[in-house]
Amino acid sequence: MKDKTLLLIAIVTLALALLPLGFESNVVLNFLAFAMIITLAAQGWNVLGGFGGQFSFGHAAFFGTGAYGMALLQVRFGVNAWLAMPIAIALGAAVGYAIGFLSFRARLRGSYFALVTLAFAEVFRISANVWSFTGGAAGVLVPLKLDPWNMQFADKRLGYWLALALVALVLLITHRLRESRFGAQLIAIRENEDAARALGADALAVKLKAIALSGGITAAAGSLYTQKFLYLDATLAYGPWISVEALLAPIIGGIGTIFGPLLGAFLLLGLGEVTKTFFANLLGGARPGADLVVFGVLLILCVAFAPRGVLGLLARLRGRGA
């Protein structure tokens, strides 16, 4: 069982890595790279929400901290991008720990925890919007200097492979997590926190570890976003859009599974692209908005008929067949 998952991770990573060798289109490459960023953010959410059962509506707080950390370290302090990234990830983990400490110690659970995370993300957004250090509402612009040394690649495939490498690393971490003692305790807390505590699991410590890990992973997504678009403002970094993406992808793909966030991100973004192209071709020109309607309907169907995500649906169908 253990080796089978590892093998699957290797196969998926290899297949994704070989994808850009098959075509020249930068449109697809751009899509793949963005899908990887969303996957990372979603994987971060999945560690806390999927395995730990702590539903956060404010992963933007971690994403934005990673993004701003990456940008400000380079712009304000002249730190090299390759060094800035681990620092940004550490900052995201620290913010995760701090938010976790404040809310878990107050025993906030369920919708209360969700609302508090949402509020934290908003506080970060408003602060970043007025603080001159973060560039205020004008945002920060990372100068365009295409050089691998600056983590800005002339060949877009390199950027994609970097993101993919991080996704693969997180796949491994998630796999290890599920197998580990820490992971078992986390899942036990998800199923019944009081029972887990009665059995000797230190619920606060476990949840804090999980939210720090979750924050770090999502911050990695933020730092990649900065390097890809080289421009940030408060709404991009801390806006609710990324909290929603980070939460939708695992829910669509399969919550609390290793491949769920990856599958979900591809389905979500892919569906958007496919419906957009399909409608442009069908109606002979851009018909903005029509694709969003279809996208919404498909999303409703997905949640209505596959409440445990696509992976859950597959498992259910297989179970019925056997």
Partner 1 sequence: MNRLNRRTVLQGAGASAALIAAPGLVRAQAAPVKIGILQPVTGALAQDGEYGRLGAEIALNEINAAGGIKSMGGAALQMVFGDARSSPEGGTAEVERMQAEGVAGIVGGFASPIVLAASQAASRYDIPYVVDVGVSDQIVNRGLKNTFRFGPGFGTVTSTALENLSKLNDAAGKPAKTVVIVHEDGLFGSGMAKLLNERLPQRGFEVMETIAHPTPSRDMSNVALRIRALNPDLVIPSSYYAEFVLLARTMQQQRIRPKGVYAILNGAASNFRFVKEFPDAANLVMDCNHWADPRKPRTAQVRALAEKDGRFWLYNTPLNYSCVKLLADAIERAGSADRAKVTEALANSNFADHIMPYGPTKFVNGQNTGAAPVNTQVQNGDIKVIFPTEFADAKAVFPAA
Least distance from C-beta 230 to partner 1, angstroms? 6
Q: Could you tell me the two tokens for 97?
A: 């720990």
Least distance from C-beta 29 to partner 1, angstroms? 8
Residue list 11-50, contact with partner 1 (CB under 8 A): 25-27, 29-31, 34
Cα 62 from Cα 91, distance rounded (Å): 8
In the shown chain, the binding pattern of residues 77 to 116 toward partner 1, with x for contact by CB under 8 A and - for none, equals ----------------------------------------
- For 285: left if phi > 0, alpha if psi spans -120 to 50, otherwise beta; the answer is left
Least distance from C-beta 119 to partner 1, angstroms? 15
Phi, psi of 292 (to 5 degrees): -65, -35
Residue list 172-231, contact with partner 1 (CB under 8 A): 229-231
Cα 43 from Cα 41, distance rounded (Å): 6
**Toward partner 1, which CB reaches closer, 34 or 182?**
34
Cα 205 from Cα 14, distance rounded (Å): 36
Residue list 116-155, contact with partner 1 (CB under 8 A): 126, 129-130, 136-139, 141, 143-144, 146, 154
Q: Give all strands (DSSP E) within 5-98, no chain letters.
A: none
Helix/strand/coil (H, E, C) string of 203-216?
A: HHHHHHHHHHHHHH
Cα 69 from Cα 85, distance rounded (Å): 8
Least distance from C-beta 141 to partner 1, angstroms? 5
**Toward partner 1, which CB reaches closer, 34 or 57?**
34
Cα 217 from Cα 249, distance rounded (Å): 15
**Toward partner 1, which CB reaches closer, 82 or 241?**
241
Residue list 278-297, contact with partner 1 (CB under 8 A): 285-286, 288-289, 292
Cα 111 from Cα 258, distance rounded (Å): 24
Q: Give all strands (DSSP E) within 70-187, no chain letters.
A: 140-141
Least distance from C-beta 245 to partner 1, angstroms? 10
Answer for which of 95, 167, 236, 258 binds partner 1 (CB under 8 A) is: 236
**Toward partner 1, which CB reaches closer, 31 or 161?**
31
Spatial contact of 142 and 226, defined as CB atoms under 8 Å apart: yes
Spatial contact of 248 and 264, defined as CB atoms under 8 Å apart: yes
Which H or E run contains 110?
helix 110-130
Least distance from C-beta 280 to partner 1, angstroms? 9
End-to-end CA distance of the chain: 19
Rule CB under 8 A: say whether 266 interacts with partner 1. no
Q: How many residues bind partner 1 (CB under 8 A)?
A: 32
**Toward partner 1, which CB reaches closer, 18 or 146?**
146
**Toward partner 1, which CB reaches closer, 137 or 199?**
137
The contact set with partner 1 (CB under 8 A) reads: 25-27, 29-31, 34, 126, 129-130, 136-139, 141, 143-144, 146, 154, 229-231, 233, 235-236, 241, 276, 285-286, 288-289, 292
